[in-house]
């Protein structure tokens, strides 16, 4: 028996007709049905909630997300790296100097840089990126974290009230994460990035732990993760493959470049996991990964494929090579290991 999908409406004719008319007036191509749902949600909130605090929260979230999408939209084709680290790092600290150098080298490679907009490591990232190549996502705090002076284009400075909307944009709008030594905020951002990768809520990306010369910060962090999380089976040992350590800015740039050497992007289509590739794999590598990674498949093998119908309909990289598989949607650490093997293809 075919399941009937309930229409998403207010079920008040005057309201629903007004929403449909407004959605038609305000929508771009192919967005009208989504705009109608968004407007319906807003109207339902107004009809159901008298809590001013709840409505303010929704209002502020929508405003922050809308403005962020507007700012990032013209730059979606440029790869971006987000830099996290302490606001308290001095200009003479090893991590400040490393962050500045890393940002400069990443922008020389064609990347843009995104920081939290504050002082310390964040300031170093904006400083190293140079004019026109960076963004700053500042957070409004009771003690007023002021934006650093190195963001030259002020329209690429976004001020957030909420940490969670800010963190969403950090992940959504970037392609690589560089974590420098820092406090609670840095660890929060690092663990969230790893949690999203571990659970498949974020597309695969390089996460690089930047260990400046003379530092043991990440070595101690990894020791804790191994001794407390892995040994206690709170995480799988393969989850350690979700990140890498870099002891120089050159090493970090190489690791990020290597992640996108052959691997391009990932998509879930009709029960299949699709890995888009910058070039096809040799038969030798294909046979090898089918032998070594059959443990992460629910059935079948890892097969080359042209673009799938849904991808073609949406114009999603039709000319790229692909691998398709029935991934178990659980072992993302192993998936990262697969991606790194694929990226070694000559």
CATH number of the domain at 132, please: 3.40.50.450
160/294 same-domain check? no
CB 280, CB 130: distance < 8 Å:
no
132/196 same-domain check? yes
Give the mean pLDDT of the chain.
Answer: 94
> Exposed, middle or buried by CB within 10 Å (0-12, 13-18, 19+), for 284?
exposed
pLDDT, tens digit (0-9, with 9 covering 90-100), for 166-197: 999 999 999 999 999 999 999 999 999 999 99
Locate 220 and state its tokens: 């101690």
Those residues whose C-beta lies under 8 Å from the C-beta of residue 290, and which sit 6 or more positions away, are 301, 302
25/89 same-domain check? no
Question: Is residue 300 one of the residues assigned to a domain?
Answer: yes
CB atoms within 10 A of CB 181: 24
Q: Provide the 8-state DSSP code for 182.
A: -
Question: Is residue 5 one of the residues assigned to a domain?
Answer: no
108/242 same-domain check? yes
Question: Is residue 186 one of the residues assigned to a domain?
Answer: yes
90/147 same-domain check? yes
pLDDT, tens digit (0-9, with 9 covering 90-100), for 223-244: 999 999 999 999 999 999 999 9
Question: Is residue 6 one of the residues assigned to a domain?
Answer: no
82-93 burial string, b = 16+ CB within 10 Å, else e?
bbbbbbebeeeb
The pLDDT score that the predictor gives to residue 144 is 56
228/105 same-domain check? yes
What domain range includes position 50?
13-73
Those residues whose C-beta lies under 8 Å from the C-beta of residue 78, and which sit 6 or more positions away, are 110, 111, 112
What's the CA gap between 146 and 119, in Å, rounded? Answer: 8
Question: Is residue 8 one of the residues assigned to a domain?
Answer: no
Nearest of 171, 107, 111 to residue 137 by alpha carbon: 171
46/141 same-domain check? no
The pLDDT score that the predictor gives to residue 141 is 83
Q: How many domains does the chain have?
A: 3
64/84 same-domain check? no
pLDDT, tens digit (0-9, with 9 covering 90-100), for 83-110: 999 999 999 999 999 999 999 999 999 9
203/302 same-domain check? no
Question: Which of residues 233, 259, 285 is at a domain's end?
Answer: 259
pLDDT, tens digit (0-9, with 9 covering 90-100), for 111-157: 999 999 999 999 999 999 988 999 999 998 877 567 888 886 778 99
81/69 same-domain check? no
Question: Which of residues 73, 90, 123 is at a domain's end?
Answer: 73
What's the CA gap between 104 and 309, in Å, rounded? Answer: 40
40/101 same-domain check? no
239/276 same-domain check? no
Question: Is residue 108 one of the residues assigned to a domain?
Answer: yes
Those residues whose C-beta lies under 8 Å from the C-beta of residue 6, and which sit 6 or more positions away, are none
pLDDT, tens digit (0-9, with 9 covering 90-100), for 267-322: 999 899 999 999 999 999 999 999 999 999 999 999 999 999 999 999 999 999 99
CA dihedral sign, ordered 149, 147, 132, 262: positive
Question: Is residue 202 one of the residues assigned to a domain?
Answer: yes
Helix (H) or strand (E) holding 299: strand 297-305
What's the CA gap between 245 and 211, in Å, rounded? Answer: 7
Question: Is residue 135 one of the residues assigned to a domain?
Answer: yes
Question: Which of residues 259, 289, 316 is at a domain's end?
Answer: 259
């Amino acid at each position: 028996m075919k399941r009937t999908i309930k229409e998403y409406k207010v079920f008040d004719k005057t309201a629903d007709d007004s929403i449909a008319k407004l959605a038609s007036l305000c929508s771009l191509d192919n967005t009208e049905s989504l705009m109608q749902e968004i407007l319906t949600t807003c109207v339902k909130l107004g009809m159901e909630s008298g809590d001013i605090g709840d409505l303010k929260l929704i209002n502020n979230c929508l405003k922050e997300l809308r403005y962020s999408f507007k700012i990032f939209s013209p730059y979606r084709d440029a790869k971006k790296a987000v830099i996290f680290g302490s606001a308290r790092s001095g200009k003479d600290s090893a991590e400040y100097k490393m962050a500045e150098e890393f940002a400069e080298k990443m922008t020389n490679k064609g990347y843009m840089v995104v920081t939290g907009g504050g002082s310390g490591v964040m300031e170093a990232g904006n400083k190293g990126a140079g004019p026109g190549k960076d963004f700053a996502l500042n957070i409004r705090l009771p003690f007023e974290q002021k934006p650093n002076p190195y963001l030259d284009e002020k329209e690429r400075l976004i001020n957030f009230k909420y940490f969670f909307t800010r963190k969403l944009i950090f992940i959504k709008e970037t392609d690589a994460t560089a974590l420098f030594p820092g406090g609670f905020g840095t660890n929060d951002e690092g663990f969230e990035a790893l949690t999203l990768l571990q659970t498949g809520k974020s597309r695969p990306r390089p996460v690089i732990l930047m260990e400046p010369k003379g530092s043991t910060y990440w070595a101690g962090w990894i020791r804790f993760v191994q001794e407390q999380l892995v040994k206690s089976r709170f995480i799988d040992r393969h989850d350690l493959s979700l990140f890498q350590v870099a002891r120089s800015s050159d090493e970090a740039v190489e690791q990020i470049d290597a992640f996108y050497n052959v691997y391009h992007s990932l998509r879930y289509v009709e029960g299949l996991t699709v890995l888009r590739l910058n070039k096809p794999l040799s038969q030798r590598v294909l046979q090898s990964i089918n032998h070594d990674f059959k443990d992460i498949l629910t059935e079948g093998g890892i097969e080359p494929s042209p673009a799938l119908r849904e991808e073609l309909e949406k114009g999603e990289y039709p000319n790229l090579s692909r691998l398709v598989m029935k991934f178990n949607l659980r072992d993302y650490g192993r998936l990262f290991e697969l991606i790194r093997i694929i990226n070694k293809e000559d």
